[in-house]
Structures are given as C-alpha cells and as structure tokens.
Amino acid sequence: MQQEDIRMVTETLKGDSEAFKPLVEKYQNRLYDLALRMTGNIHEAEDIAQTAFIKAYASLKLYNTAHDFSNWLYTIALNITRNRLRRLSIINFFSLERFGFPEGENAPPEPVDAHDKPEESLTKKELLKCLDKAVRNLPVSLKEVFVLFHFHETSLNDISIRLGISQNAVSLRLLKGRKLLYKQLAPKFPEYFKNGTHDKKEADYVKR
C-alpha cells in the first residue's frame, strides 16, 4: 500500500498531474470523515479535506518517501483542522446548536443492529448522537486522538507520528478523553455501561 502511494507521488513529481488523482480518491473520504467528526460541520469538513489535498500537492517535494504518506497527509489535515477550530472559536461560531447534526443529515453513518428491539434502537441512536456531540466538545488535543484511534482505527504509533507526540502522550490523552466521555454519557445511558448487559461498541469506546 505504501509502495503504491510512493509510486503515485513519484509520478506526480515527474510531471504527471493525473497520478495524484488516485491518492485523492483513496484518502478523500477518510480526511472528510476526520474533519467532520472534529468540527461537526459538513461544509467545513469538505473545505478542510479539499484544502489538505491542495496543500499536499503544492508541498509534495517536501514529502520524505522514507515515511508513510498517509501519516504525512493526515498531519496536514490535522493542522488545517486545528487552525479552523481556533478561528471558529474566536468568532464564537463553535456551538452545539450551530454545528449539531440535523436529523438524518450531517452525522457520519453508524450501523444499527437489525436485531435490536425498536425501543433499544431509539436508545442506541440517542447514544450515538450524544457520543458525537460529546466527542466534538472534547478539547482538540483529546478529540483528535480519540477520533483517530476509535473511528479511523489508527495505531498508537501512527497517531504519535501524525501528531508529533510520544506514544505515552497519545495513551494518556486517549485515557483522559475516555474518562471525560464516560463521565458525560454513563449517567444518561446506564444500561450501556453495565458490564455484561450490552456488548455495544459505542459504550466500549469510552469504557476501555
């Protein structure tokens, strides 16, 4: 996978502008999902993902092929997202009401078990909604670690590379983020946080 990425980068640097398109197609949904979970705004997420590819293309000569391309690209996207969140915060634009997911629209799709009872499905949907909002309201340093690890299934090592911090720091931020989420969600959804009652990944995100 990494070798294929490097091949596309090499071809692009040789002057083949079409060679960069497969990289965009490969990573655009991942960057969009990352930005959406960080900002909660579909338009900001689209713009962040697009800006990340533009910056990556413009600075491709700076990419060191000895390192993983996806980590380099994610680092660019994360830096853009951080700056965007700072700007939104400064103009008092970052609020649950403004960026809360409209019913059935912006939220990244989450599977619902077909075997769930109707009342259980409703509770699960509410848990997912509250989880999304709680994650978006985490401090940026905790939010980016939580999103990368749980939603993008990124290893601790790759997260440390993308954020430029130690693996120990990643683990500590992940633990702190889980504790904050548990404190917010467990009282509202006790049935999902009782050992042996539900085997639900949503609760597992904050219990581990």
For residue 6, what is the domain's CATH number? Answer: 1.10.1740.10
- The reply to whether 125 and 93 lie within a common domain is no
What is the pLDDT at residue 203? 60
Q: Does residue 108 fall inside a structural domain?
A: no
* Sign of the dihedral defined by the CA atoms of residues 192, 197, 202, 205, in that order: positive
Last-in-domain residue among 100, 125, 159: 100
Segment 85-92 mean pLDDT: 63
Q: How many whole angstroms separate alpha carbon 203 and alpha carbon 195?
A: 10
Are 4 and 96 in the same domain?
yes
Q: Do 173 and 197 reside in the same domain of the chain?
A: yes
What distance, in Å, lies between the first and last C-alpha atoms of the chain? 30
Number of independent structural domains in the chain = 2
Can you tell me the distance from the alpha carbon of 90 to that of 93, in angstroms, rounded to the nearest whole number? 8
Query: Are the CB atoms for 39 and 85 separated by under 8 Å?
Result: yes
| 65 and 139 share one domain | no
Q: Residue 115 corresponds to which tokens in the numbers above?
A: 């075997």
42 occurs within a structural domain: yes
Q: Are 138 and 180 within 8 A, CB to CB?
A: yes
Let me know: does 24 contact 53? Beta carbons within 8 Å: yes
What range does the domain containing 30 cover?
1-100
pLDDT tens for residues 6-47? 999 999 999 998 999 999 999 999 999 999 999 989 999 999
Residues 203 and 123 in one domain: yes
Please give the biggest Cα pair distance in the chain.
Answer: 58
| Token pair listed for 6 | 């490097």
pLDDT by residue (tens digit) across 90-134?
Answer: 443 333 333 343 443 444 444 444 444 555 556 778 888 888 889
